[in-house]
C-alpha cells in the first residue's frame, strides 16, 4: 500500500509553548486512521497544519507523496471540522451546488445526486438544512467534504452530539467511503467508535505521540494474557475457589455466565478448559480477550501522568 499521509518530526510552538513535539506517523492509502488524545493534546493543531490553516515550526508533511504546503496538493483533501460549514437557509442540494462551484466540480447535478444517495439524504435534498437533525447535518457535512471526490477525508469528531442511530449511520458512511478507496483521518473522543472502524490508531498527549500502530495488533499486545470463558450456567463458587488456587491464575472479572482470567506461563487455556469440564462445567466459548481501545487509551495516559 502507498502512503496517503506522512508526518515527519512535526513541531509547533505557539507563544513559547510547545504544542507539537516531533510528531511522526504514516497513514496508508485505504486506512481508517483513528487519532486519539485528551483535550489540549495537539489533535486540532495537527489537523490545522494538515489543512494548511497553520504552519508547522519544523518537520515535513506529504499528501500522496506531494508537499502539503502547495494549495493544489491540498485539493485532494475533504474535511469535516467541529462546525459543519452548512448554510441553514439553503437546501442540502443548494449547499452542495455552492461547494461544488468552489471546487470547480463539473457535471455537478450527477455528482450531487450520487453523493446524496451515498449519505442517504436523497429524499430530503430540497429541504432546508435548518430542518435537519444533528445526525442529518453530519451526513450532509460528509457529502460536502466529498463533493470534489477527494482521495483523503479528515474528520474531526464527526459523531459528536449525534444520537446512537445517527452514529450508526455516520459510521456506515465512513466504512462505505473506505470501501471506495478513500483514506480517512478520524479524530475522535468516541473510543468505541474508533475500535469499531479504525484499522490503525495513534495516541497523542501533550504534543507527543505515545502510541501508534495497527489497532488489532496493539489490542493483542496489551491483552495482559487474559482469557474470556463463557459457560452455559454460572460457575459454582466451590469450583471458582479451586480455579483461583491454580498456579498463575488470577480471576479478574465474573459476570453472569462468563469469567475473565489472567493466566501465567504455567497455566494455559486448554488447562483451564480441561479443569472446568472435569467439574461438569459446560463451556460455550473460551478465547483470548483482547484489550479494548479504551483500556489501551487509559493505560497509556496513566503511564505518562506526572
pLDDT, tens digit, 9 for 90 and up, residues 158-215:
988 888 888 898 899 999 999 989 999 999 999 999 999 999 999 999 999 999 999 9
For residue 111, is it within any domain?
yes
Does 95 lie in the same domain as 55?
A: yes
Do 59 and 186 have their domain in common? yes
Tell me, yes or no, whether 203 and 228 share the same domain: no
Phi, psi values for residue 300, rounded to 5°: -65, -45
Strand partners, 63: 5, 66
Domain holding 19: CATH number? 3.40.50.300
Of the pLDDT bands very low, low, confident and very high (cuts 50, 70, 90), residue 125 is very high
Q: Which domain CATH number covers 278? A: 3.30.70
Q: What's the pLDDT tens digit per position in 8-42?
A: 999 999 888 999 999 999 999 999 999 999 998 99
| Boundary residue ending a domain (220, 235, 251) | 220
Give pLDDT, residue 67. Answer: 78
Cα separation, 161 vs 293, in Å, equals 21
In the numeric block, which cell numbers belong to residue 26?
Answer: 504514516
pLDDT of 250 above 90: no
Q: What are the phi and psi torsion angles at 83 (to 5°)?
A: -95, 135
Whole-angstrom Cα distance, residue 171 to residue 197?
7
Same domain assignment for residues 143 and 261: no
User: Model's pTM, two decimal places?
Assistant: 0.82
The total number of structural domains that make up the chain: 2
249: in domain: yes
Give the C-alpha separation, 27 to 44, whole Å. 17
Say what the pLDDT of residue 289 is.
73
Note down the domain range covering 278: 224-289
Percentage of the chain modeled with pLDDT above 70: 96
Residue 306 pLDDT greater than 90, yes or no: no
Residues 95 and 212 grouped into a single domain: yes
**Looking at residue 191, what is its pLDDT?**
92
Take residue 187 and report the three cell numbers written for it: 479524530
On whether both 85 and 192 belong to a single domain, the answer is yes
Name the least confident of 84-98, 200-214, 238-252: 238-252
Rounded mean pLDDT of the chain?
89
Cell of 38: 485528551
Amino acid at each position: 500500500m502507498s502512503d496517503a499521509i506522512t508526518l515527519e518530526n512535526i513541531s509547533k510552538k505557539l507563544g513559547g509553548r510547545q504544542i507539537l513535539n516531533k510528531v511522526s506517523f504514516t497513514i496508508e492509502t485505504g486506512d481508517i486512521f483513528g487519532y486519539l488524545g485528551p483535550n489540549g493534546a495537539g489533535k486540532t493543531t495537527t489537523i490545522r497544519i494538515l489543512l494548511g490553516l497553520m504552519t508547522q515550526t519544523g518537520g515535513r508533511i506529504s499528501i500522496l507523496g506531494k508537499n502539503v504546503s502547495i494549495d493544489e496538493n491540498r485539493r485532494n483533501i475533504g474535511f469535516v471540522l467541529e462546525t459543519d460549514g452548512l448554510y441553514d437557509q439553503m437546501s442540502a442540494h443548494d449547499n452542495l451546488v455552492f461547494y461544488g462551484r468552489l471546487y470547480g466540480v463539473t457535471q455537478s447535478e450527477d455528482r450531487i445526486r450520487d453523493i446524496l444517495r451515498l449519505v442517504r439524504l436523497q429524499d430530503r435534498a430540497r429541504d432546508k438544512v435548518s430542518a435537519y437533525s444533528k445526525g442529518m447535518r453530519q451526513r450532509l457535512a460528509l457529502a460536502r467534504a466529498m463533493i470534489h471526490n477527494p482521495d483523503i477525508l479528515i474528520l474531526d469528531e464527526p459523531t459528536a452530539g449525534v444520537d446512537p442511530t445517527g452514529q450508526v449511520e455516520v459510521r456506515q458512511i465512513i466504512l462505505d467511503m473506505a470501501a471506495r478507496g478513500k483514506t480517512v483521518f478520524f479524530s475522535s473522543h468516541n473510543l468505541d467508535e474508533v475500535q469499531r472502524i479504525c484499522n490503525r490508531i495513534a495516541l497523542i498527549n501533550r504534543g507527543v505521540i505515545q502510541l501508534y500502530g495497527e489497532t488489532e495488533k496493539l489490542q493483542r499486545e496489551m491483552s495482559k494474557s487474559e482469557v474470556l470463558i463463557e459457560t452455559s450456567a454460572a460457575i459454582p463458587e466451590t469450583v471458582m475457589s479451586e480455579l483461583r488456587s491454580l498456579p498463575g491464575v488470577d480471576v479478574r472479572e465474573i459476570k453472569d455466565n462468563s469469567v475473565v482470567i489472567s493466566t501465567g506461563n504455567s497455566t494455559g487455556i486448554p488447562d483451564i478448559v480441561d479443569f472446568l469440564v472435569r467439574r461438569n462445567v459446560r463451556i460455550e466459548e473460551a478465547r483470548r480477550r483482547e484489550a479494548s481501545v479504551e483500556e489501551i487509551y487509559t493505560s497509556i495516559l496513566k503511564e505518562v501522568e506526572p
